[in-house]
Amino acid sequence: VHAPLAADFYGFQEALTPVEHDASARLRDFMEREVRPLALDYWDRAEFPHQIIPGLADCGMFGAMWPETMRFENSAVWRGWAALELGRVDPSTATFVGVQSGLSMSSIAIGGSPEQRAQWLPPMGRGELIGAFGLTEPLSGSDASKGLRTTAERRGDTWVLNGAKRWIGNATFADVVVIWARDTADGQVKGFLVRRGTPGFTTTKIERKQALRIVQNADITLDGVEVDEADRLPNIHSFREVAVVLRLTRAEVAWQAVGVAVGAYEATVRYVAEREQFGRPLASFQLVQDRLAQCLGNITASIALCLQASRMQDAGRLGDEHAALAKGYATTRMRETVAWCRELLGGNGIQLDHGVAKFFADAEAVYSFEGTRDMNNLIVGRAITGVSAFV
Ligand code: FAD
């Protein structure tokens, strides 16, 4: 039986079809059995649990959107709900899936030829091959479009890539990294499938990260890396198509943020019921109940917003500004919620074993990646005013 989440106060999960509902039950069961028990230790050691990949694939987490890899008929609402389910147990696992399925596979599905799709998507859908998405650079994060410096120079049927990437999730072990580089001839951004082991391509793990420690982020250097024309994504002509990928993933990161808030909230509700001060459970104090109500309000409003964004996506009406508002709003409410939850645990709120400190730390990365709150709000501001504040 798939009991509704108590944090789903208004019963939003009813929006799922019966098939999606069953898939959500399988996913929640997998996350509780296979991921929750190991997440704290792997996070503490900053290691990635490769053994969870086949189970995530069986739950249909990789490429649910694309005909080659979808396990069952599904909607953007389901894919968003899945991101919530992943995030509420482990935000790093949600991010790993977001990079593999959202960023990497979507780049290949949107930008790739039929041959490239046939070659890469099925094994990636089974979790046999892992992907990464290399956009951010040491000198360009928010300014990913105009500031992109990695170059691609065409020499006959070969492209030569030079430059550097930073923060690239999964890259330390990925079989293929989608590298975004600027064509030296026409100045446009193009996409290249760079395989692990290609000469001149090196990845170095970013150490001492204090959020999403399970996710393996890397610095990449590209030093005269040769890529066949056959490994260029032919349907990417400029940064416009990269933005299409980001629009899809941003809407899912918004759902992931709701999951992070839900995970922290659930742990807090349990804690305040058990912990006593002044001879009574914390849960019995009015100020504590007020905080819990504010957390639940944040979660509820965020789900409502994300749900409508996903419905717009299913109807083909999701614009960049809608995805940006969902990401900016849900991550801001998440950040507020995990901070209140941390506070309600007192000192134990900063200690890993009490179930909130990890959400609190992870939330900071979810708040800043896939466009910071500022950049997402500026995309919304551009839609409101007709004036871009950042280009
Ligand atoms: P900056 O762009 O330097 O921004 C710093 C601050 O300045 C921010 O608060 C920002 O909002 C503000 N700012 C910048 N410009 C403006 C402006 N015009 N107006 C107002 N404020 C502004 N990238 C990938 O390509 N692939 C990945 O897989 C990937 N994974 C990531 C995983 C993690 C854990 C993290 C932390 C990052 C990851 N990133 C990845 C990079 C991520 O997308 C960037 O960190 C993000 O876009 C912000 O860029 P930045 O860190 O360079 O910050």
Interface confidence, given as ipTM, is 0.99
Please report the pLDDT score of residue 84 as a whole number: 98
Q: What is the pLDDT of residues 160-179, one digit of tens each?
A: 999 999 999 999 999 999 99
Q: Report residue 80: phi and psi, to 5°.
A: -65, -45
Q: Residue 134: CB within 6 Å of ligand 1?
A: yes
Q: What is the pLDDT of residues 290-335, one digit of tens each?
A: 999 999 999 999 999 999 999 999 999 999 999 999 999 999 999 9
Residue 2 has pLDDT above 90, yes or no: no
Residue 253 has pLDDT above 70, yes or no: yes
Distance 371 CA to ligand 1 centre (A): 6
Q: What is the pLDDT of residues 6-24, one digit of tens each?
A: 999 999 999 999 999 999 9
Please report the pLDDT score of residue 209 as a whole number: 98
Q: What is the pLDDT of residues 82-137, one digit of tens each?
A: 999 999 999 999 999 999 999 999 999 999 999 999 999 999 999 999 999 999 99
Residues 6 or more apart whose CB falls under 8 angstroms from that of 62 comprise 56, 69, 97, 100, 101, 105, 124, 125, 126, 127
Q: Residue 365: CB within 6 Å of ligand 1?
A: yes
Q: Residue 146: CB within 6 Å of ligand 1?
A: no
On average, the pLDDT of the chain sits at 97
3-state secondary structure 316-371: CCCCHHHHHHHHHHHHHHHHHHHHHHHHHCHHHHHCHHHCCHHHHHHHHHHHHCCC
Is the distance from CB of 378 to CB of 321 less than 8 angstroms?
Answer: no
Distance 324 CA to ligand 1 centre (A): 14
Residue 1 has pLDDT above 70, yes or no: no
Q: E strand or H helix at 218, and its extent?
A: strand 217-228
CA gap 97, 90 in Å, rounded: 11
Distance 373 CA to ligand 1 centre (A): 10
